[in-house]
Structure 1
Amino acid sequence: MPVYKQWHTVTLPFEGPETSELDPDNPFLNYRLSVEFIHKKTKYRVRGFYAADGNASETGTDKGNIWKVRFTPDYLGTWNYTAILHHQDSIALEEDLTKGKSIELSNSEGQFIVVNSDKEGSDFRAKGRLHASKGYYKFQDSDKYWIKGGTNSPENLLGYVDFDSTYRMQASSREGEASTNDEIHKYAAHLKDWKSGDPSWKNGKGKSLIGAINYLASKGMNSAYFLTMNIFGDGKDVWPYNSPEDFSRFDVSKLEQWEIVFQHMQTKGILLHMVVQETENETILDNGDTSVMRQLYFRELIARFAHHLALNWNLGEENGPASWSPVGQNDRQRKDMSRFLKDNDPYNHPVLLHTHSHDPLRSKILDSILGFQYLDGLSLQQDKRELAPEVVKTWRTKAKAKNHDWLITMDEIGMWHTAALPDSEDPNHDTLRQYALWGTLLSGAAGVEWYFGAKHPHNDLNSEDWRERDRLWELTNHATTFFQNYLPFWEMTPKHTLINTSNAYCLHKKGVVYAVYLPKQKKPTIDLKTEVGAFSVAWYDPLNGGALQKGSKEKIKGGSVVELGTPPSTKDHFIQQDWVCLIKKIND
């Protein structure tokens, strides 16, 4: 009996009818592969997909008789599976398994055993699947929570020269977006980061993108944001289809090459932030409805990629109409997309909505979807960075009032034209560090990603080298490491007013632990008037990370407004840089 490991993907191939991507009898629309996986504790019904010859990432072929399913088992022990392939006009859109003509498959029934994973460290196969819980990411069937820090750019990550049939439809210099030419991504600067044993395809293709993923992971980053379709959008170089003019047929070899990259991202501990559309193209499928073409698109993405452990669906960049893109989806259409993804993703990955950058445009859209059970949260865009902490706090509070906590990640900080500059121009990213990083995380954000801006070299569409922001990744890693190592952040709430300045931020679990970000200031205090007992005081350096350090005070008492003392390496009661203060109850 075959043996697989827990949280490792099981890929099962089946021999079925010979066909092709362009066959008049469309294999993506007129066939439906459904596989039931049964364990004594649970069962899953998972959609399969047409896989051409079963090795299309290498051969590049568009024809064959192989169909596949990908499944990631969560329980140890024996699993049984049964596969059914049906044929009928538009059967791919049908859930009723009694409909359609059954087509013979090889290996349609079987059994396998799942044993413990042998992975460790950041590899998601060591930890399991991420779900949304209490406004944060949480590993399934565990008490472990996870916080995000990564890259939001380039958004057209998959517009890469080594993927089959990938090119830019047209260059653009449109106002409000990054300018492009005919060149798509090569990531040549990261070829040196590819390591022996890493994946590639077609005799060495893909090494530079795999190397780029290695670099990002080496800096402690754990997420990457990318579009799966930007037809009519900014880059015009990413789509899953055989042709950007036909939304009913998919490019099997390209999608198999995407999968190689996605698998590598997961082994390196990088969440797939999968953005299904952008504001300029949100109505090109079914005029914005979740009808034939959008359902088919979502079903293919789910069938091919939902097995990954760390993935969230993003309903689309800047979703909803705006002055620069007046034709957009409405509230019903957003809700229909959310519901469809939740109903059809067997693994219940988080579904997020990317927002506009300011109110009232943003709130006009969000107020109508607050409390909607099929939406897990927001992929937040914010233009004025100094307001970002308050915006995070506001929307988390509004969601809680509707009894449906939102997972909110600070994914696109402005201004739109510059955003996160290269290190050469902003060496320590002072305002990003204060407002968009520590400010939002201590206001309840579940993570951050960095957007590169549109009107700048190394921008959101043409950036080729993540080393241009090497220092930014370090600063981000210092923050996420602090949260993961020292805080029960999922049990904490923001209360900035406990500190004696509006420029400071405080996340707390009342009477237990307080994490305080302090910008340059005199004599910081914390209001512990309602608390009793003693608290320890330690300091963390947001510029350099490392271990907790001692300041002028190691202990304070509750019952009053208390001075925190001074952090390490400061004089005359002045703080010469920003610091983070960790205050914890000392149990008697």
Structure 2
Amino acid sequence: MPRPYLLLLLPVLFAGCRSALTYTHPDLDKWEKLTLSFPGPESEESAAVNPFVHYRLDVTFTNDDYSITVPGFYAADGKAAETSAERGNIWQVRFRPDRSGEWTYEGQLVSGDSIYLQPVGEGKIVERYEGAFFVGEAPPGETGRLIRDHPRYLRWAETGDYFIKTGVDSPENLLGYEDFDGTYRHSNTFREGESKTEGLHRFSAHLDDHGTRDPAWKNGMGKGIIGGISYLASAGVNSLYFLTLNLNGDGKDVWPYTDHEARYRFDVSKLDQWEIVFDHADSLGMMLHFVLNETENETLLDGGDTGPERQLYFRELVARFGHHRAVTWNLGEENGPNDWSESWQDTRQQRDVLAWFAENDPFRHYVVLHTHPGEEAFAKIYQPLLGNDHLDGLSLQLGDPYSANEVTRKWLRLSAEAGAPWIMTLDEVGPWWRGLDPDDTVPNNQDSLRALTLWGNLLAGGGGVEWYFGARSPHNDLNLEDWRSRDRAYRWSADARQFFERHLPFWDMEARNELTREDNEFCFAQAGSVYVVNLPFGEPATLDLSDTEGEYTVQWYNPREGGDLEDYGELVQASDGEVELVPPGEGHWVCLLKRRTL
């Protein structure tokens, strides 16, 4: 993979004078992270002239006839992750070039009252910057950015491979970590019967997973969380879910601000340390699932509107973290109307958030909505948003995990009929008190969640799963310290993803459950060519091939163990109509049928 961090100090062009100097860096790879640091006015996090509100940096990068304008941010001394600096004169921008060849850039640092709310080009010019750099070809293994150009799946821009998510949803307060500057719990009040935790995360169980080449900060801080992410990647996890604002929520320990009462001032060193963690996950091919708030605080900023507080918060996240290859912006955990909280974001407010990201995220990352579970909540919250092409997908919470296939198929159909198809992922599989059991729990729900939930989503055309760890489980949604508690589940999840990647043209397939007899015998097919049938309990199934012709090979896949397909030389004839599929053993099996070609 490309180097995860590159810092360049480039020549500047100050207001009122021009410089002929440019800087070319011949070793920069396509998609490699570029951090440009620019000198500007001396300031600090608490300055009377607020550097986050009264200054704005925008940099336009140009390659031939293509250009993109990227927001920058105040960076104190430019190395705050190590120094914990609160003051300095450095502004930065982060960018990943998506084209080879020579790039030029022009930047402007402007000032004005709440200038971040004004269009690009407004404000008093404080500094101008310009320069150039050269970008080579993408190195072997480079995937590029995740893009949306398919109705049901994301795709890596460089390789063209489609992306299926098999991630972790817990702990939601991942960033409530003791080695981050300015991180503390602002209240120790927890709702009775739900997840509780003591202190901040340490992830000490993963200290030994920190590799010699893995990053850290301040002489070894961060090794627990970095080691945990390294472990997760080694177990096949490719997505991380985390809140960036849980003020007044469940954990009460994550926010980007200088303290829990601030709204217009950001903790520069904390956010630089977050970036080290995100860089590491990015380098391992992981999606970063930014959950922007939770149900208890969705109206904390601007009463739920996309006003000055919310716009500043969003801009800072996009400026600092939007460059990453795989980003999901999630409007919020359990976002929208419910029957127990005093306030929530309504449909208009949700549309305004969607419109803000459509207009202000230059990288056009994937945007989703997570809500309360159940069809009543889905109808109330999702139905009014059908047809909104700024919403890319649903981040489904299922109280009934075994409804995954039905719910995925329903909302794929409804969104397609409305003219703006949504990607369907399962990002909180309930019930809330249980979620995914640890490996050593007896009785254990992993077999049923694998057979009916994970495979249910995938065989409906869904985009994958992030596993939630229930409130009454050890290592739950708030107090998880050891991700190995679900090691087995990560691996069979990754095995399912790899089955799709290796054996199926899944982007051209669709749910065809009407071809089987039983409700749980999910069928996914490219009609007349490829069929996959789920046999969750090891019982024989039937598949109706009467609308096709020819001869089909029959191979078997063991989702419990993964590995290669099992081939016993079986063949079936389409002319037989309904054919019987008898699994080679007990338990969960998946059958793959492919039409033979002469």
Alignment TM class, shorter chain as reference: over 0.9
- Aligned-partner Cα distance in 2 for 1:370–1:540: 37
1:139 corresponds in structure 2 to 156
For residues 521 and 468 of structure 1, what CA distance do their matches in structure 2 show?
A: 27
CA deviations on 1:290-349 (whole Å, 9 max, x unpaired) are 010000000000000000010110000010121232410000000100110121111110
Further displaced range: 307-316 or 322-331:
322-331
Q: Is the 1:130–1:310 Cα contact (8 Å) retained in structure 2?
A: yes
Indicate yes or no: 2:30 matched with 1:6: yes
TM-score under structure 2 normalisation? 0.94
2:329/2:367 contact within 8 Å kept:
yes
Which residue number corresponds to residue 460 of structure 1? 477
Q: Indicate whether 1:352 and 2:352 are aligned.
A: no
Give the letter for the 1:157 counterpart: L
Distance 1:547-1:311 versus aligned 2 partners, 3 A rule: same
- The question of whether the paired residues in 2 share the 8 Å contact of 1:421 and 1:452 is answered with yes
- CA-CA distance at 1:403 after TM superposition: 1.6
- Alpha-carbon distance between aligned partners in 1 of 2:164 and 2:565, rounded to the nearest angstrom: 20
Give the aligned partner of residue 123 of structure 1: none
Q: Distance in 2 between matches of 1:163 and 1:267?
A: 20
In 2: Cα distance, 1:586 partner to 1:410 partner? 35
SS at structure 1 position matched to 2:454: helix
- Aligned-CA RMSD value: 1.3
Query: Structure 2 matches for 1:402-413, cutoff 5 A?
Result: 402-413=418-429
Which runs of structure 2 are paired with 1:473-492 in the superposition (5 Å)? 473-492=490-509
| Aligned position for 2:588 | 578
Which residue matches 2:190?
173
SS at match of 1:430: helix
Q: CA deviation at 1:180?
A: 2.7
Displacement of 1:475 = 1.3
- Greater displacement, 68-77 / 315-324: 315-324
The 4+ residue runs of structure 1 with deviation greater than 6 A are none
Counterpart residue type for residue 418 of structure 1: R
**Number of matched residues?**
572
Give a deviation string over 1:425-458, Cα, whole Å, max 9, x none. Answer: 1557111112211111111210101000112221
Separation in structure 2 between the aligned mates of residue 362 and residue 327 of structure 1, nearest angstrom: 18
Contact residue 30 and residue 91 of structure 1 kept, 8 A:
yes
Change in CA separation of 1:343 and 1:176 when aligned onto 2, cut-off 3 Å: farther
Inter-partner Cα distance in structure 1 for 2:34 and 2:168: 29
The 10-residue stretch of structure 1 (478-487 or 428-437) with the greater mean CA deviation from structure 2: 428-437
**Aligned residue identity for 2:343:** V
Helix, strand or coil for the counterpart of 2:202?
coil
**What is the match of residue 403 of structure 2?**
387
Query: Which of 555, 567, 578 is equivalent to 1:550?
Result: 567
Of 120, 123, 133, 1:112 maps to: 133
CA distance, structure 2, for counterparts of residue 486 and residue 6 of structure 1: 30
Distance 1:522 1:88, change over 3 A: closer
Partner Cα separation in structure 2 for residue 134 and residue 392 of structure 1: 13
Matched, 1:93 2:109: no
SS at match of 1:249: coil
What is the aligned-residue identity percentage?
Answer: 48
Is 1:315–1:352's contact at 8 Å kept on the other side of the alignment? Answer: yes
2:261 aligned partner, one-letter code: E
The SS at the match of 1:322 is: coil
Matches of 1:550 and 1:378, distance apart in 2: 37
Q: 2-side partners of 1:119 and 1:274: how far apart?
A: 28
Matching residue of 1:308: 324
Instruction: Give secondary structure in 2 for the equivalent of 1:184.
Output: coil
Contact preservation (8 Å) 2:538, 2:589: no
Cα deviation per residue 1:458-477 (whole Å; 9 max; x = unaligned)?
11000000001111111111
Check whether the contact 1:134–1:490 (CA below 8 A) recurs between aligned residues: no
* Residues 23-63 of structure 1: per-residue CA shift (max 9 Å, x gap): 01000011010100001142100000000000000000100
Judge conservation of contact 1:525–1:561 (CA < 8 Å) in 2: no
Q: Deviations over 1:519-574 (max 9, x none)?
A: 225432110100011121111110000011114x5221213434344333x3xxxx
Q: Deviations over 1:164-203 (max 9, x none)?
A: 010111113303631233x110000000000101100011
Amino acid at match of 1:76: S
| Partner Cα separation in structure 2 for residue 134 and residue 485 of structure 1 | 21
Conserved 8 A contact 2:257-2:266 = yes
List runs of 5+ in structure 1 lacking aligned partners: 121-125, 571-575
CA distance in 2, matches of 1:201, 1:324: 42
Deviations 1:235-257 (A, max 9, x none): 00000001111110000000000
Offset, 1:137: 1.0
Residues 1:511 and 2:528 are matched in the alignment: yes
Cα separation, 2, equivalents of 1:55 and 1:211: 22
Quote the Cα distance in structure 2 between the aligned partners of 1:493 and 1:222.
Answer: 24
Relative to structure 1, the CA distance from residue 42 to residue 142 in structure 2 (aligned partners, 3 Å threshold; closer, same or farther) is: farther
* Mapped partners of 2:272, 2:127: distance in 1: 24
The 5-angstrom pairing of residues 125-204 of structure 1 reads 126-132=142-148, 133-140=150-157, 143-175=160-192, 177-181=194-198, 183-204=199-220
